[in-house]
Structure 1
Amino acid sequence: MRRRELLAMGAAAIAAPLRGRAAGMADTVARVKPSVVLVGTYRETDTPRFQLRGSGFLIGRGQQVVTCSHVLPGADADLVVQVLRPDGGWARHPVHLGALDERSDLALLTLDSAIGPGLPIGDSGKVREGDDLAFMGFPIGNLLGYSHVVHRAMVSSITAALLPSPDAERLRENAIRGLRSGNFSLFQLDAVAYPGNSGGPLFRPETGEVVGVMNMVLLKGTRESALSQPSGIAYAVPAARLRELMERAR
């Protein structure tokens, strides 16, 4: 009998931290969710009128949106973000380009007024291989619907953003620009992400601090290849690159 009691106590001791960790993650997701927005275009003549291009998230006082530069449409399109309302509907807001870093594939969009809480930007320099993180966005939202989707991800590697090509003639234009301006690192994650995730936040499950921006194109070449050939590997641009863009935008 004593042995059973000891085993039960041991199992309870193991389960308690796991329950606490799960509850902590759920609380963080609830805090992060109102800040993660749809990024796309809106035209009366389009069908559907809103075309999702990627994810984004609010920062600061809720008047700026972070996303990927490859998410942005041409100059003739009407760029908007949509934020989830308390009643479950979506509120559409026009945005304007505030700052751009094509090399890091980052963009800052500006709003006329605050539309929600901004997420805190953490220190991406403290991220280590093996860290457990999470990301949120709208994977393949045009097909699956506009629902926030959250995934856990471990940092499997901190790798170079510019990978060497076996054939110099196959270097893409952005890779050549990267060679000229110097290299930087990306977070490689052991998770499957799709093009709709691009621009979403990579955050710490304990605090909700953003340590990276999800990117499905920088290394994979095109949204089409990322969608048709999911590799089980995702990438994120460290938040340090975002901080640099924010400083330049001041």
Structure 2
Amino acid sequence: MLPSLFFAAERNARVTPIVEAVSGILPSVVNISAGTEKAESKSSSESRVLGSGCIVDQTGLVLTNSHVIEGAERLNITLSDGRTFTASIVADDPANDLALLKIVTEYQKDSWGAVKMAEPGDLLLGETVIMAGNPYGLGSSISAGILGAIGRKVVYKGKIVFNDILQVDAPIYPGNSGGPLINLNGEMIGISTAVHRNAPGIGFAIPIMRIENVLASWMLPEKFKRAKLGFVPAVRKPNGKPEIYIYSVEKKSPAWEAGIRGGEVLKTFDGKEIKSLIELSRELMRLRVGNTVKLTDTENRSFSISLVPAGVNDGAGVAKELLNISIQEMSPRLADALGFSGLLGVVVSDSFGAGSKIKRGTLITAIDGMPVKNFFDVAEALRDNVSGDKIKLSTVSEESGKKEFWVYAK
């Protein structure tokens, strides 16, 4: 046998199912840290590793645990190729210990490789599973084990909080939280969340069915395109086979006017078979005002839904939704207290955004060049903005004086 053929055969023998699965998943696994570095910086000695995450949509949406980002002032995401970006918080659900982040980049058309998700409930007790993450901030690492239990209960103060937790013996180390748990097909079946306090070799993961249902409540045109659709889809498995259905519908919304009442089991979206909830969610979040979509259900009923602008008369709500800040209208007493006498604008009373340039006590005088002096003005100024848009703010603060800068809508 020729030497080249011998070495090729030897290498092929080493390419196990674990190796193949890992090669497909690692580009979607990210490190999440808190620090002060700027977007697209190479490195920073000031970073503090918080945990891991995985890319769930090509637009740069990253899923992680809620506890990973808790209390972080600024978030940075490092990809498997070493590039580092700042991130904004899109949604956070501490009750389910899930959070959704978005990579912030100057190039809004950047595309990111998203993780492949398993069919909800497709689990085999005893199957080999792989945990991917960034333990101790060392970079992409994996550990392998078996799926030891399905449907573990989590009890809090005597009440069952969850009854769907996955138990694994693949080691989960500090920094692994939020990383994907995958099967040998390279499909995510859950994300790591905790280790057993008294048994370090036992780890727990949130299953993909709960993940997809939480994501479906977030990945909607109302959040990403300021377009009103009016329903939230979900997935369940009543007879051993997943079905996607209407979990909730808002009265007087376009979906309600189209005849949707909730509970309908969906079959097609714009003429295409609905194969998974995550794929439907990715379609829904891209819809815009004026789009018309057609749904059919398993009873062969058809629904035509035309999207309309989402309500935008609440300036305080819009500021929190897009800029991750709480604002209050100026009063003579507040102006005197903050040293803004004679100035018009709205005051930032709290700032929640990771890496936000908008500090508490800042006076916002204009948004995209439009003067703002009350909630109504803020609503008007932000009326056409959606997630990812670049917004120019004119501000005054005690620390920086008059300043103009750009921020990205979360």
- Tell whether 2:104 aligns with 1:135: no
Cα distance in 1 for partners of 2:36, 2:70 equals 12
Name structure 2 gaps, 5 residues minimum.
1-8, 38-43, 221-410
The question of whether the paired residues in 2 share the 8 Å contact of 1:73 and 1:79 is answered with no
The question of whether the paired residues in 2 share the 8 Å contact of 1:69 and 1:107 is answered with yes
Cα distance in 2 for partners of 1:59, 1:203 equals 14
Choose from 176, 186, 194 the match for 2:173. 194
In structure 1, the partner of 2:322 is none
One-letter code aligned to 2:207: P
Structure with higher RCO (Cα < 8 A, 6+ apart) = 1
Structure 1 residue 136: Cα displacement = 0.5
Choose from 173, 183, 186 the match for 1:204. 183
- Tell whether 2:115 aligns with 1:119: yes
In structure 1, the partner of 2:154 is 162
Aligned residues: 199
**Taking structure 2 as the reference length, what is the TM-score of the superposition?**
0.45
Give the match's secondary structure for 1:30: helix
Choose from 12, 27, 37 the match for 2:30. 37
**Taking structure 1 as the reference length, what is the TM-score of the superposition?**
0.71
The question of whether the paired residues in 2 share the 8 Å contact of 1:41 and 1:73 is answered with no
In structure 2, the partner of 1:183 is 162
In structure 2, the partner of 1:11 is none
Choose from 70, 89, 94 the match for 1:97. 89
One-letter code aligned to 2:217: R
In 2 relative to 1, CA 104–73 (structure 1 residues): closer, same or farther, beyond 3 Å? closer
Alpha-carbon displacement from aligned partner over 1:174-207 (angstroms, at most 9, x marks no partner): x24x938x533111012221121100000112x2
Instruction: Give the 4+ runs in structure 1 shifted more than 4 A.
Output: 19-22
Choose from 185, 205, 208 the match for 1:239. 208
The question of whether the paired residues in 1 share the 8 Å contact of 2:20 and 2:186 is answered with no
Give the match's secondary structure for 2:135: coil
The question of whether the paired residues in 2 share the 8 Å contact of 1:192 and 1:230 is answered with no
Alpha-carbon displacement from aligned partner over 1:56-110 (angstroms, at most 9, x marks no partner): 11112151101110000426x111111132xxxx211111111222122111111
In structure 2, the partner of 1:13 is none
Cα distance in 2 for partners of 1:203, 1:194 equals 16
In structure 2, the partner of 1:108 is 100
In 2 relative to 1, CA 23–92 (structure 1 residues): closer, same or farther, beyond 3 Å? same
Cα distance in 1 for partners of 2:206, 2:18 equals 22
Structure 1 residue 121: Cα displacement = 1.6
The question of whether the paired residues in 2 share the 8 Å contact of 1:37 and 1:57 is answered with yes
In 2 relative to 1, CA 39–115 (structure 1 residues): closer, same or farther, beyond 3 Å? farther
Name structure 1 gaps, 5 residues minimum.
1-15, 164-174, 221-228
Alpha-carbon displacement from aligned partner over 1:199-236 (angstroms, at most 9, x marks no partner): 0000112x21111001126x64xxxxxxxx65211111
The question of whether the paired residues in 2 share the 8 Å contact of 1:195 and 1:216 is answered with no
Give the match's secondary structure for 2:149: strand
Structure 1 residue 41: Cα displacement = 0.9
Q: Which one has a larger percent strand, Structure 1 or Structure 2?
A: 2
Cα distance in 1 for partners of 2:151, 2:14 equals 28
One-letter code aligned to 1:185: D
RMSD of the TM alignment (CA)? 2.5
Give the match's secondary structure for 1:54: strand
In 2 relative to 1, CA 183–43 (structure 1 residues): closer, same or farther, beyond 3 Å? same
